[in-house]
Structure 1
Amino acid sequence: MSDDLLHRIDRTLSRAADAGALLPIRTEQTPIRDAGIDFTVRWVSTLAHKDAARVEAAVRRDPDFNPFLPPDPELTIGPLGDEHLGVLNKFPVIDRHLLIVTRRYEAQTAPLTRADFIALATVMAASGGLGFYNGGAEAGASQRHKHLQWIPDATGTARLSRFTHQLPQDLPAGEIATHPALPWRHCFLRLPPCGDAVSLGEAMHAAFDRACAAVGIAASAEPMPPYNFLVSRDWMTVIPRTCERHENISVNALGFAGSLFVRRPEEIDTVRAIGPLRLLAAVATPR
């Protein structure tokens, strides 16, 4: 990500916080290790009771309300190409959480396009981070308007490397691998090195089509079946979904990068009792 875009994000964060448009959700976190894979479970801080109301607002699904037509100007970073805008997440759990929103309405179940991937790559080309997508309500999406998402690399955040470090590191670009410890249908693809946003976006698009075919999804289906995809500068994964939650624990794409979120601290015990891998398997397609 260019310094200019990073500065725009930080200026917008400051402006939105001063205006009261940004309503971060304060969390505490605890680690859980499962089959040699490190997970982080975030939970809403008991010291910030008002954040419980923010969580409810963040996940509320109102078919008559579209927060992206238009997006709040206090939260809007600006253009990301001709077809997308960068918009801050109003209720961030992770700092600098960015939404990449189509300017015109498209459904969250619509196929992802070349333009979508190039907009995401515009953010990721220089500074990496993690891009992800919740393909429909059953995959964890709370808004119907198409939006990809991005979070920066930071200690304790979701990272594909929690899983990919156990994959063959000499896997050629474009080749498919599966993780032996993951009991849900998935695939990982290695991405080629790319020097600019357009080539990175096109590489992501090609990898996505190939990954969808590998897990039995038609990448051009309208509407798409529920799925999550996650991408770093090096790897991409696609996971078909069957439902949004298990034992009242909601799971979105970040769960498949090792980051789970619960509303109450007692739900940490639920996650621990089920086990993160079994929890994820319960909302995905069996392998």
Structure 2
Amino acid sequence: MAPSHGLPAGLPHLVHDAFVRARAAGDLTFFPTQVALLRVHGVPFQLRFAPSLAKKPKPSDDKISKVPSKPFDPFENPPPGLLIVPQVGEAGSFTHRLVLNKFAISQDHSILATSDFRPQTHLLEAGDLAAAYACVNAYHEEGEELYVFYNSGTHSGASQPHRHLQLLPVRRMQEGVEPQMREECGGTMDGILVDQLAWTSATLPIFVAVAQLPESGGASAATLHATYLALYRQACAAAIHTSAINADGETVDAAAEESGTIPARMSYNLALTRKSMAILPRTAEGSMVSPGGGTLSLNGTVLAGTALVKSDAEWDALRNDASGLENVLVQIGVPVGSQTLKKEQTAAL
């Protein structure tokens, strides 16, 4: 099956070759991470120590939540060394471009950004999801799996106001996890977390709205968007009595929100794979690990079962204590208390 949306054949190899060139030229920053495995609610979590990410520039909340007058936009005219596919979309309607992430958290970390400015705080459009899903299928055609995530809102880990989804090859995300580590953690890693939440009995101590997608990889743009909106509604319903929902969230114009003309009423992370989609409502970007243990901030990699640690204090406080990570999760999401979370599964529409 030929790749769709103008994506070239052999996309994983094209991305990797571009990554190698860009790293050698100094166009991007990437350093291998240390990794530890923890189990939270019986689910393996990767704790990855990436101190280089502490140097990544972070804009103010004002820059994330509002359309800027004219600050630097890394996706408006990306450097040639980071550009992979300049035109992504249906024939005659190219809506996105694929670029390398200048601050990579794993090898071959790429970004699918809209060609024209679209706000990161507004709900995704069908075309955004279709383009991301086309990338997922392009990787699958080459025998690889891709994890896509989207950070939206001030509590989500979002770092740029220009709409973009982030793409991580699953194989690259699992580098450094040795068989002995898996055994010490109590078992193998049975796929990426979002797929476990959608297809198995795995749960988390916080609410996650999850849906199964057709295993054939044949979900249409309309199906993807309808599933996304259904999950978003579930997440809003779960978060309505928490600080996750904006003060006027109960009276928001849902039609305007879902058409993308006004900002979403809450911060959230979206995860997308070939098999699954999930939305995690967010109440905070991070939480203190322990007194003197630093503050751990989490973005959409959390739905892949990965927590990125940027300081020695966080790393030392968490790597041998899964309860610390579980406490952070409860602080950044909508907790389900001591009861085992009943997953709200939405069948693909």
Matched residue of 1:40: which SS? strand
Q: Which residue of 1 aligns with 2:59?
A: 61
Match runs of 1:179-258 below 5 Å: 181-195=203-217, 199-216=219-236, 220=258, 222-224=262-264, 225-247=266-288, 248-258=295-305
Q: Which residue of 2 aligns with 1:80?
A: 88
Question: Structure 1 residue 57: deviation in Å?
Answer: 4.0
Match status 1:280 vs 2:329: yes
Distance 1:142 1:160, change over 3 A: farther
Task: Output the amino acid matched with 2:167.
Answer: W
Question: Structure 1 residue 60: deviation in Å?
Answer: 2.0
Once residues 42 and 244 of structure 1 are traced to their aligned partners in structure 2, the CA distance between those partners, rounded to angstroms, is 17
Once residues 236 and 86 of structure 1 are traced to their aligned partners in structure 2, the CA distance between those partners, rounded to angstroms, is 21
Structure 2: segments with no counterpart, 5+ residues: 64-70, 176-188, 238-253, 289-294, 337-349
Distance 1:166 1:250, change over 3 A: closer
Task: Output the amino acid matched with 1:72.
Answer: P
Task: Output the amino acid matched with 1:36.
Answer: G
Q: Which residue of 2 aligns with 1:70?
A: 77
TM-score, scaled relative to structure 1: 0.83
Question: Structure 1 residue 72: deviation in Å?
Answer: 1.7
Percent of aligned positions that are identical = 28
Question: Structure 1 residue 190: deviation in Å?
Answer: 0.7
Task: Output the amino acid matched with 2:136.
Answer: M
Task: Output the amino acid matched with 2:72.
Answer: F
Match runs of 1:161-176 below 5 Å: 161-162=192-193, 164-165=195-196
Q: Which residue of 2 aligns with 1:10?
A: 16
Cα displacement string for residues 163-210 of structure 1 (whole angstroms, at most 9, x for unaligned residues): 6446655xxxxxxxxx674232222111123455xx454432221111
Once residues 86 and 209 of structure 1 are traced to their aligned partners in structure 2, the CA distance between those partners, rounded to angstroms, is 24
Q: Which residue of 2 aligns with 1:120?
A: 132
Contact 2:190 2:196 in 1 (8 A): no
Cα displacement string for residues 133-179 of structure 1 (whole angstroms, at most 9, x for unaligned residues): 1012310111111101111121627986436446655xxxxxxxxx6
Once residues 273 and 191 of structure 2 are traced to their aligned partners in structure 1, the CA distance between those partners, rounded to angstroms, is 7
Aligned residues: 268
Contact 2:43 2:202 in 1 (8 A): no
Distance 1:80 1:58, change over 3 A: farther
Structure 1: segments with no counterpart, 5+ residues: 45-51, 170-178
Cα displacement string for residues 29-68 of structure 1 (whole angstroms, at most 9, x for unaligned residues): 1111122110111113xxxxxxx5x424424216433211
Once residues 255 and 166 of structure 1 are traced to their aligned partners in structure 2, the CA distance between those partners, rounded to angstroms, is 12
Matched residue of 2:56: which SS? helix
Q: Which residue of 1 aligns with 2:174?
A: 156
Q: Which residue of 1 aligns with 2:310?
A: 263
Contact 1:139 1:244 in 2 (8 A): yes
Q: Which residue of 2 aligns with 1:134?
A: 151
Q: Which residue of 1 aligns with 2:245?
A: none
TM-score, scaled relative to structure 2: 0.69
Task: Output the amino acid matched with 2:53.
Answer: V
Task: Output the amino acid matched with 1:141.
Answer: A
